[in-house]
């Protein structure tokens, strides 16, 4: 390992440490589960390791039949991003369905209440 740290290594390391701190805070708040915490911390720590040991990514790239580690990281990242976009799309569709169902129920309850109010006023007279 080279004892000198390149500026890009320093910048990326600081960013990844910031990302790990955000994951830790979200876990501490209870916003994310233990599984999500372990996944994201593992991902960011793997990225941090790859910054200081670039031959690690080259080794995995060769195992996958890809020439360079940077290419393997790029391909994997694009695939992961497409998957995450798909998951977000499904989540948004579910939220949209739940909101529509809730609005429908509120509208029906509101309509039912407005029908009962004139009857109550007639009964008071």
Q: Each residue's pLDDT tens digit in the chain (125 positions)?
A: 567 888 999 999 999 999 999 999 999 999 999 999 999 999 999 999 999 898 999 998 999 999 999 899 999 999 999 999 999 999 999 999 999 999 999 999 999 888 887 666 655 65
Domain with 123 in it: 69-125
Give me the number of domains the chain comprises. Answer: 2
CA separation for the pair 119, 112 (Å, rounded): 11
Instruction: Let me know if residue 63 belongs to a domain.
Output: no
Whole-model pTM? 0.69
Instruction: Let me know if residue 10 belongs to a domain.
Output: yes
8 Å CB contact between 55 and 80: no
Asked if 96 and 45 sit in the same domain, the reply is no
Instruction: Let me know if residue 114 belongs to a domain.
Output: yes
């Amino acid at each position: 390992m080279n004892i000198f740290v390149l500026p890009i290594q320093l910048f990326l390391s600081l960013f990844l440490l910031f990302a790990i701190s955000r994951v830790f805070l979200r876990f501490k708040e209870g916003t994310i589960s233990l599984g999500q915490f372990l996944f994201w911390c593992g991902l960011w720590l793997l990225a941090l390791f790859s910054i200081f040991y670039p031959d690690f990514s080259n080794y995995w790239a060769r195992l996958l039949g890809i020439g360079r580690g940077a290419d393997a990281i790029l391909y994997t990242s694009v695939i992961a991003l497409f998957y995450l976009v798909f998951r977000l799309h499904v989540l948004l569709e579910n939220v949209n369905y739940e909101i529509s169902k809730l609005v429908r129920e509120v509208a029906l309850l509101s309509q039912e209440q407005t029908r009962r109010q004139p009857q109550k006023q007639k009964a008071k007279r």
